[in-house]
Copies of this chain bind each other. A is one copy, B any other.
Amino acid sequence: MKPIIIVHGGAGDISESRIQGKFDGVKVAVRAGYEKLMNGGNALDSVEAAVVSMELDENFNAGYGSVLNLNGEVEMEASIMWGQDLNSGAVTLIKEFQHPISIARKVLTDTPHSFLGGNGAKLFALEKGFQQVPPESLISESAKEALNDFLNKGDDQRTEIGKKDEGGVGTVGAVAIDADGHIAVATSTGGINGKMVGRIGDTPLIGGGTYADDNVGGISTTGHGESILKYCLAHTIIKLMEGGLDADTATRQAVIGMTARLNNTAGAITLSKNGDVGIHFSSKRMAWAYVKNDKVYYGIEHDQTLEEPL
């Protein structure tokens, strides 16, 4: 099978002025992931490379440029999954490393576990040779502004984060199928703007933010984390595809179902094991891009598909 990779750069109420940065970022990321697939890398190498690219880009809420918690700190989380054997790795409450997704991959490959958090995750990352960076080096100016805006609007908005679609805009994810038909998924985020210290969302949760199964397909989600984790959005899409729906219908049905039940928005990108693409979001916008048959397709508005040569 010809390899395919699809990425997203977050669902939410993205303003006009941020569209170009998102477009540029998802196109750079999808090409970084595709290059791995063309140079002997497997699907896991591909999705990690795509997410690493977006973790470095302050246009996205992951790695550098992550949103801040109520203490003004970055606390990041990520997960990665390999569809052949359902093996997975995830981390949460990461404050001092540039690439949470790469630590998550080490959890997958180098531990008997699937999920490490907080100080234990930090100790593991150091043991594996990841470079510790000053926490403030991950903080962008726009993240500081976003927290200030949030705090200035008063405390009672804490419960309305999801409904306002503020902050949390820009979780990143990637889904790839390699030449051997193996599927991998990676998702990484800084969470939700003005979150409580210690808040864990859907991104590190297998079945919430991420799912990969070579027998069915792969999904990465983005949006209101608390709703996604309650609805098990990624796993719901897997089960719909297992039941016979194609990637696009399954993705659409699950995202619409979550929003109808929980009154918050989300988006998801999906590949079926046959290489069919599914993209849907109930938020105003979601940046996405994929490479298939040597073309780059991308979009951010509803019913928008742009294309350019690889």
Contact = CB atoms under 8 A, between A and B. Distances in A.
B118 A93 contact: yes
Contact of A198 (B118, B201, B235): B118
Contacts of A286: none
Interface in A100-133: 111-124
A190 interface: no
Contacts of A161: 112
A261 interface: yes
Given A113-B226, A226-B113, A120 B197 contact: yes
A160 B206 CA distance: 21
A261 B86 CA distance: 9
Contacts of A81: 230
A230 B226 CA distance: 19
A112 B200 contact: no
A302 interface: no
A243 interface: yes
B120 A196 contact: yes
B93 A117 contact: yes
B114 A230 contact: yes
A205 B202 CA distance: 10
Interface string A269-288: 00000000000000000000
Contacts of A261: 86
Nearest to A194: B112
A92 B200 contact: yes
Report, as a range, how many residues of chain A touch the other chain.
35 or more
A113 B196 contact: yes
Interface in A219-255: 225-226, 229-232, 235-236, 239, 243
Contacts of A196: 111-113, 116, 120, 124
Contacts of A86: 230-231, 261-262
Interface in A4-60: none
A208 interface: yes
Interface of A: 69, 75, 81, 85-88, 90, 92-93, 111-124, 158-162, 195-201, 205-208, 211, 225-226, 229-232, 235-236, 239, 243, 261-262
Given A113-B201, A207-B229, 12 more contacts: A69-B120, A86-B261, A86-B262, A112-B161, A112-B196, A112-B226, A114-B226, A120-B197, A120-B199, A205-B205, A205-B206, A205-B207
8 contacts: A81-B230, A86-B262, A114-B225, A115-B200, A122-B198, A123-B198, A205-B206, A207-B207
